[in-house]
Amino acid sequence: MQRFKTIYALQQYLAPLIQSARTVGLVPTMGALHEGHLDLVRRARQECDVVVVSIFVNPVQFNNPDDLARYPRTLQQDSEMLEKVGTDVLFFPAITEIYPEPAQLKLSFGELESVMEGAFRPGHFNGVGLVVAKLFHIVQPNLAYFGQKDLQQIAVIRRLIRDLNFPINLIRCDTVRETDGLAMSSRNRNLTDVERGQATSLYEALTLACDLLIEGQSPNQAKAAVTGFFAKLSTFRLEYIEVVNADTLQPVAELQAPGQTAICIAAYLGKVRLIDNRIF
C-alpha cells in the first residue's frame, strides 16, 4: 500500500494510472476505522483497479468543538487494517494541505439540509461538501463509496455531483451493524461500557417505528411511539426521529414506494451523539 500525505505526491502516483484508463475508486473517511468502513473498501476492491482511501478529520464539518477534540484518531491501526483489505493508496493529508487558508466558498444544499443533520448541525454539510469536492478534484475517482449510515450525506453528495458535473458514480453501501444491531461508528469508541450496553436502544427504536409503519400506522404515530420509548430512557436525549423520503429527505405523511421510506434518528447517549436510519 502506498501512503501519501501531500496532494502533489498522490497525484504524481495516480496520474499515469488515470491516463491508462484504470478505474479509480475513492473511499473518503475520517479514520478510526471499523468494519463499516472496511466494507466500503472491500466493495471498491471488487469494482475498481485502484482503491484510494482518504483519512482526514475535516474540521470544517464539525459544528461542536468538543466533538472534534474527542474524535478518535488511530492512524497506525487504520493503516494496518487498510493494508489487509487490499487498499492501494492511503491519503492522509494534514489540515494545512487541504486548507492552506480558510475556504471562503460556502455551499448550500437548500431543502436537503433544512432537516435532520442539516438543521441540528448548522454548517455541517457545507463542510462535508467542501471536503468531498476537494477530494474529488484531487483524486479524480470514477467511483466514490459512501455508507447508508449517513443517508443525508449521500443525498448531499448526489446533489454535489449533479450540480458540479463531477463524472463520478456514487455507490451507496449498506449499514454494517454490531450483533446487537448498533450501527458501527467511530464515535462508538467514546461510549462507556454501560452506555455501550444501552446503545442498542437506538436500533430497537428504529425497529419499533418500522414495525408500526408496516402495521399501517402513520409516520406521525410511529414518531410519537419512538418519542415515548425514549422518554422512558433517562440516559438518552432524543434529538429527532423523522420519517422521510429516502431521496429527498423531506418528511412524509404516508409510506412511499417500496425502498423509498426512510426512518432517521439522532440521539445523545451521554456525551456521544449517535445517528442511524432504516430504509424499507
Using CB under 6 A as the criterion, which residues of the chain lie in contact with ligand AMP when the complex forms?
A: 29-30, 36-37, 39-40, 146-147, 149-150, 173, 175-176, 183-186
| Smallest separation (angstroms) from ligand AMP to the CB of 261 | 20
Catalytic residue flag (residue 37): yes
**Which CB sits closer to ligand AMP, 56 or 240?**
56
Our CB check for ligand AMP shows the closer of 22 and 34 to be 34
Q: Which residue is nearest to ligand AMP (CB)?
A: 147
Q: Which is nearer to ligand AMP, 87 or 175 (CB)?
A: 175
Least distance in angstroms from the C-beta of 216 to ligand AMP: 30
Nearer to ligand AMP, 43 or 223 (CB): 43
3-state SS string over the chain?
CEEECCHHHHHHHHHHHHHCCCCEEEEEECCCCCHHHHHHHHHHHHHCCEEEEEECCCHHHCCCHHHHHHCCCCHHHHHHHHHHCCCCEEECCCHHHHCCCCCCCCCCCHHHHCCHHHHHCCCHHHHHHHHHHHHHHHHCCCEEEEEHHHHHHHHHHHHHHHHCCCCCEEEEECCCECCCCCECCHHHHHCCHHHHHHCCHHHHHHHHHHHHHHHCCCHHHHHHHHHHHHHCCCCEEEEEEEEEECCCCCECCCCCCCCCEEEEEEEEECCEEEEEEEEC
Q: Give min distance, CB of 32 to ligand AMP, in A.
A: 7
Residue 225 C-beta: closest distance to ligand AMP, Å: 25
Catalytic residue set: 37
